[in-house]
Structures are given as structure tokens and as C-alpha cells.
Amino acid sequence: MVNRQVAQKNMLMGNYARAPLAFSHGEGSWLISTDGGRYLDFASGIAVNNLGHGHPALVAALTKQAQKLWHVSNLYTIPEQERVAEMLCARGKLTKAFFCNSGAEATEAAVKMARRAQYHQGQVSRRTILCSEGAFHGRTIAMLAATDREAFREGFGPMPQGFDHFPFGNMNVLRDRLIADSNSPEPEIAAIMVESVQGEGGAKPLPHGFLEELRALTSEAGCLLIADEVQIGVGRSGHFFSYEPSGITPDIVAMAKGLGGGFPVGAVLASDAVGAAMDAGSHGSTFGGNPLAMAAVGAVLEVLDEEFLADLRARAERFLQMLVALVGRHDALIEVRGQGFLIGLVLKDGITPAAMTEALRARHLLVVPAAAQTLRLLPPLNASMQEIEHAVSIIDAVLTHEEFS
């Protein structure tokens, strides 16, 4: 049912294509609309509400901190920040952390750190950041240059220099480029930035073995490896960091989205060598890492232990199997891909992800459209098997509808 209050014209800028639907509260994997409807939330605020809505550990941690201290400036020591930095670095096998407030701030800071680290080591010509075609790294001006989608850039030029792209998953092209660059008298490449599974790009995982080879190549060529874990990180892949199964450690890791379970917070983790370049005054953020944000991150980290992640992997595997079974039964569904709880349903040409999203929403299942004819399923990481089965039954019913068959 259309919520007329929301559908009315208002004073907000038109930069979002909003659905005429508003929510008053949430309970676990469910959102309750202002007109009383219950919606199964497999969008999770676009990979943010990792623990669903109103998780007791998160509510308790934030409530407790809200009564003590919300914000102090980074002019002072913030013990809560030091504690969370230690927890994150231990999990990421890295040694330095910086806190900000969003994904684009984290990726942008990661780029600054990569350039600064090269500069610090006397590699002043190494300024270019190589990104993958189809990547999404955020909406600031610099991150639009890192993101190669023209539609996002229209009217916002000129784009900053120092970004270039390689074809998604194409190791041959990348290897040739890196070797040629490192053999030139003035190498240009400072870092490669990749998402191990492209989120906005359509839940597209890098080919098997790509990260391992990329790590070896970047180390050999003298450039840095930045992992953009903003969407796939913080457990969404089934591992705390998505690259864990590959055994690699990037030089720099950008995080946000699920990190605060809904509280706006981002982070960048880095190696000692990168951290050494970031001396006092080199970068900053007024709100970054305030005690309230740190309370949220601390609570999320405590919930996402190894036992939780192993259980998530088992649920994700069963979810995937159920979805793959739909491919054989519905012409409209071409492929199921992704990792963990970042799952993409690739639709046949002629069926738009937006139309399918709307049809699912009409049946009270929330999902997110993506590029490349893909629909994204981003359940809360603690979604139950019963909720997963319910989502599959709604998808099955919508695909059976003649509009999509």
C-alpha cells in the first residue's frame, strides 16, 4: 500500500529515487512500515544493518555509551578508539587504524595513504591508483574518478587525475601493465584498489586465485594493494575480511557499512610501512572514531566471532543452493553469484532489476538493484533459515508471475 505521506512532495533534494514507503521501527530481520506492514529486510540498509534491527547487544552498548560521553575531538586520547583499533588490527593482521564516518571517506583516505606512503619512501612518481572496471568506491569527486561509471560522473567533471582502470578480473592485462610500469624509469602506479566481490557492480566475485596473484605481483612491482571491504567486509562474505580464505594481507583495507551495524562509521587499516607516512596533521576527520561510534563497532565485533561466522557460512551455503535451484525453474533467472550474504540474481535481458525489486517489495521482501542486470540480496548476517526460506518462496512466487516468466 502506498504511504501517501511519503509520496507527497517535500523539501528534500531529488537525488534519490525513493520508494513511497516509510518505516517506523525494526525487529531483527523485519522492518515495520508506518502503515503497519511487515517487510523482510534483505537489503539491510545496503549492507549496513549486519545484525538486523534493534539487536540487544548493539542497543545496550550504544545506550550505555550515550549516557557517558558521545563525542570528544581527536585532539585528545580516546581510549575507546584505541581498544577498537586493537581489535580490528588483530583480526586484519595489520597494525595501524584510522577512523572516519563513511565508505567514500574510507576509500579516499586509503588512496591518500597509498600515495603518501610511496612519497614517504621516495617513490614520488608513484601516484596512480589502478582500479577495476565496474568497481564502485564512492561518490566524492576523487572516488568518482576511481569508479569508472560515466552515469555517476555526468556533469561533475573535471575528474581528478591519477586514476586508471583495468578490465575486471583480467590478470594478463594487469600483469603486463604492472611489469611495464615497474621497469620504467619513473613508475607511476602507487596502488591497485579492488573489491574482492564487486557489490554495486553486480555481486561479481574476482576469479579464483586472482587475489593471491595480485598480492604477489604488487609486492614484486613495488606498489600497494588496497582492499575495498566497504560492502563485502565485516562478515558479509562469511569471513570477517573477505580475502581471509586467500591467505593474503593487503597493505590497506577500507571499511564502513556494516562496521557500526547502522551507526555511521568507517575505518582504514594499514601496515606499519603505510602508517609511518601518516604523521600528525597529514589527515583527519572531526567525527571520526568518536566514543559513540566506537561503542557500536565494539559491540558488532564482539557478536561476529568465529562461531557466528561459521554458522553464517552454513546458512549462506543453503541459501545459495535454494536460489540455484530456482535458476533451472525460471527462464528469467540466468545465474546466481556472489559470496556469503552478498548474493546476486542475474536476470535475463528485458527484465529490469528495478522492476523486480518493486515486485518483490509489493510482496514485502526488500532487496537492492545493482548493475549488470543484477538484483542484490543482502540479508542481515543473523537472518534465520526460516527467514531465508520465506525470502526464497517470495522470489519463487514473483518469478512465477507472468510478467517475469
Closest residue by Cα to residue 109 from 96, 121, 92: 96
> Residues 26, 28, 138, 262: which binds ligand PLP (CB under 6 A)?
138
Q: Is there binding between residue 228 and ligand PLP (CB under 6 A)?
A: yes
Query: Nearest distance from residue 15's CB to ligand PLP, in Å?
Result: 13
Q: Which of 21, 203, 230, 234 binds ligand PLP (CB under 6 A)?
A: 230
Among 43, 78, 97, 104, binds ligand PLP (CB under 6 A): 104
DSSP E strands, 28-119: 30-33, 38-41, 96-100
CB of 150 to ligand PLP, least distance (A): 18
Using Cβ positions, the residue closest to ligand PLP within the complex turns out to be 103
Alpha-carbon span 326 to 213, nearest angstrom: 34
Least Cβ distance, residue 132 to ligand PLP (angstroms): 11
The answer to whether residue 237 forms part of the interface with ligand PLP (CB under 6 A) is: no
Q: Are 355 and 251 in contact (CB under 8 A)?
A: no
DSSP 207-273: PTTHHHHHHHHHHHHT-EEEEE-TTTTTTTTSSSSTTGGGT---SEEEE-GGGGBTB--EEEEE-HH
Interacting residues with ligand PLP between 109 and 128 (CB under 6 A): none
Contact between 81 and ligand PLP by CB under 6 A: the answer reads: no
Residue 199 CB, nearest approach to ligand PLP (Å)? 4
Decide if residue 199 touches ligand PLP (CB under 6 A): yes
- The SS3 of residue 95 is coil
The nearest distance, CB 376 to ligand PLP, in angstroms, is 10
Could you tell me if 62 and 296 are in contact, meaning their C-beta atoms sit under 8 angstroms apart? yes
Q: Minimum distance from CB of 353 to ligand PLP (Å)?
A: 15
What residues contact 151, with CB distance under 8 A and at least 6 apart?
none
Region near ligand PLP per CB under 6 A, out of 17-25, 133-141, 171-179, 377-385: 133-141
From candidates 44, 49, 231, 246, binder to ligand PLP by CB under 6 A:
231
200 binds ligand PLP (CB under 6 A): yes
Q: What count of other Cβ atoms lies within 10 Å of the Cβ of residue 403?
A: 11
Return d(Cα 186, Cα 177) in angstroms, integer: 14
Applying CB under 6 A, does 136 fall inside the site for ligand PLP? yes
Q: Kindly report each contact of residues 317-323 with a partner whose C-beta sits within 8 Å and lies 24 or more positions away, as own/partner.
A: 318/385, 318/388, 319/343, 319/377, 319/379, 319/388, 319/392, 322/388, 322/389, 322/392, 323/377, 323/392, 323/395
Q: How many residues bind ligand PLP (CB under 6 A)?
A: 14
Helix (H) or strand (E) holding 302: helix 291-303
Q: Which of 107, 339, 373, 374 binds ligand PLP (CB under 6 A)?
A: 107
251 binds ligand PLP (CB under 6 A): no
The number of angstroms, rounded, from the C-alpha of 41 to the middle of its chain's C-alpha atoms is 17
Closest CA to 53 of 61, 62, 44: 44
Nearer to ligand PLP, 118 or 242 (CB): 242
Residue number, 103 or 380, with CB nearest to ligand PLP: 103
| Euclidean distance between CA atoms 215 and 212, whole angstroms | 5
Q: How far apart are CA 336 and CA 349, in angstroms?
A: 15
CB of 228 to ligand PLP, least distance (A): 5
**Contact region for ligand PLP (CB under 6 A) — 164-172, 194-202, 281-289, 332-340?**
194-202
Min dist CB 232 to ligand PLP, Å, is 7
Q: Select 105 or 387, whichever has its Cβ closest to ligand PLP.
A: 105
User: Can you tell me the distance from the alpha carbon of 112 to that of 322, in angstroms, rounded to the nearest whole number?
Assistant: 43
Name the residues that contact ligand PLP, by CB under 6 A: 102-104, 107, 136-138, 195, 199-200, 228, 230-231, 256
